[in-house]
Amino acid sequence: MRTFLIFASVVAAFAATMAVETTEANAVTCVAGVYRTGCAGPRGAVVVTHPPVTVCHYVVVNGVRVHRCG
């Protein structure tokens, strides 16, 4: 009887550990480089180029100095 109880407890412990579901890792890393920006995750990678640099300057509108970018 003692052997049967030990065997039953081992089987129950094994079944309990198999019933626990593990979650997958969803880490994402991003790096901003000199020419491009890239992100890599569990489902692949994406590379994005930087938008063009806008030129900003000051203009005078109705006597008020205004900062315009365009």
Determine the Cα–Cα distance for residues 14 and 63; give it in Å rounded to an integer.
81
List C-alpha distances in Å: 12 to 3, 4, 9.
14, 12, 5
pLDDT band at 23 (very low <50, low <70, confident <90, very high): low
**pLDDT(21) > 70:** no
Return the domain boundaries, the chain: 2-69
For residue 43, the model assigns a pLDDT of 78
Q: What is the mean pLDDT of residues 47-70?
A: 80
Listed ranges 9-13, 38-42, 47-51; the one with the highest mean pLDDT: 9-13
Residue-wise DSSP of the chain: -HHHHHHHHHHHHHHHHHHSPPPPP---EEEE-SSEEEEEETTEEEEEEPPPPPPEEEEEETTEEEEEE-
The pTM for the full model equals: 0.31
